[in-house]
Structure 1
Amino acid sequence: MTKFLLILHVLVAIVAIGPVTVAASRFPAEARRALADPGDPGAVSSVRQLHRICVTYAFVGAAVPVFGFGTASSMGALGSAWLIASIVLTALAAVALGGLILPRQAAIVTALYAPPAERDPLPGREATVRLAMFTGIFNILWAVVTILMIVRPGSTTGA
C-alpha cells in the first residue's frame, strides 16, 4: 500500500504542481504584454488561459498533501523533522498560491476583460513585478519541498 500511495503522491505532484509553477511563472510577463496593449486579443486570452491553468491545477494539487500524508503515515514518518518541514513549506506554498498569486492574477484578468467604458485604470508594472516576486517565492518553496522529499534525512537509499 505504501508504494501505491507513494506512486500516487509523486504522479499528482508532477502532474499538478509542474503546470502551476510554469503557468504562474509565465503569467507576469504575459500580463505585462496584455496590459501594455489591452486591445490585443491574443495577449489578453493568453493571460486568461494561464490563470485558468493555475486555478485548475491548484485544485488538483490539493491531492498532493493528501497522498503525502497517507504515504508518510504508512511509512511511520509523520513525526520526522524533514516531513514536518515539508508540511510547513507546503502550507506556505498553498498560502502563497491561494492568498497572494491567484487573487492578483484574477484582478488582472478582470481588469483586462472589463468593458473599456467601465474599466478602472489598468494595473501597472508594479503589480506584475510583485506578482512575479510572489510566484518566485512559491516556486522556491516547492523546490525546497522537492529537495527534502528526494534527499531526506535518514533516507535508506544511501544517497
Structure 2
Amino acid sequence: MSKILLILHVLAAVIAVGPVTVAGSMFPSAVRRAAAAPDRPEPVAAVRLLHQICRVYALVGLAVPVFGFATASSMHVLGSPWLIVSIVLTGVAALVLALLVLPAQEIAIAGLSGSGADTETAATRLEPAQIRRLAMLTGAFNLLWATVTILMIVRPGSTTGA
C-alpha cells in the first residue's frame, strides 16, 4: 500500500505543482508584455490564462499533502525530522501562493483590465516594483518547492543510501 500511496503522492506533485511553478514563473513577464501593448487583447488573455492555471492547479495541489501524509503514515516516518521540515516548508509554500502570489496576480490583472478607464491609464497603474515583487514571490514559492523536493529525494538519515 505504501508504494501505491507514494506513486499517487509523486504524481500529484508533478501534475499539480509543476504547472503552478511554470505558469507562476511565466506570469510576471506576461504582465510586462500585456502592459506594453495595452491596445491588444491577446497578451491580457494570456495573463488571465496563466492566473487561471495557477488557481486551478493550486487547488489540485491539495492532493499532494493528503497523499504525502498517507504515505508517511503507512511508512511510519511521520516523526522524522526531514519530513517535519518538509511539511513546514510545504505549508509556507502554500501560504505564499494563497496569500501573496495569487492575490498579487489578481491585482496585476485588475491593473491591466482597468475599471472602465482608458487602456493607457490602466497599463500605467502597474508599477514595475509590483511586477518585480510578484516575480520575487513566485521565485520564493518555487524555491520552497525545490527544497521540499530535494528533502523528499535525499531524506537525511534514510537507510536507502540516497
Query: Structure 2-normalised TM-score?
Result: 0.93
Counterpart position of 1:157: 160
The number of residue pairs the alignment matches comes to 159
Q: How far apart in 2 are the matches of 1:106 and 1:136?
A: 17
Deviation at 1:53, TM superposition (A): 0.3
Residue by residue over 1:16-70, the C-alpha shift from the partner in whole angstroms, topping out at 9 and shown as x without a partner, is 0000000000000110111122222111111000000000000000110010000
Tell me if 1:106 matches 2:109.
no
Deviation at 1:84, TM superposition (A): 0.3
Partner of 1:99, secondary structure, is helix
Deviation at 1:144, TM superposition (A): 0.3
Structure 1: gaps spanning 5 or more residues: none
Tell me if 1:129 matches 2:132.
yes
Greater Cα offset, 97-106 or 109-118: 109-118
Greater Cα offset, 37-46 or 128-137: 37-46
Greater Cα offset, 123-132 or 32-41: 32-41
Counterpart position of 1:61: 61
Runs of 4+ in 1 over 4 A off after TM superposition: 118-121
Counterpart position of 1:51: 51
Q: Contact 2:101/2:138 (CA < 8 Å) preserved in 1?
A: yes
Residue by residue over 1:78-119, the C-alpha shift from the partner in whole angstroms, topping out at 9 and shown as x without a partner, is 100000000000001001100110000011112222344287
Q: Contact 2:23/2:53 (CA < 8 Å) preserved in 1?
A: yes
Q: Contact 1:23/1:50 (CA < 8 Å) preserved in 2?
A: yes
Q: How far apart in 2 are the matches of 1:115 and 1:158?
A: 58
Counterpart position of 2:26: 26
Counterpart of 2:7, as a letter, is I
Identity of aligned residues (%): 60
Q: How far apart in 1 are the matches of 2:105 and 2:161?
A: 43
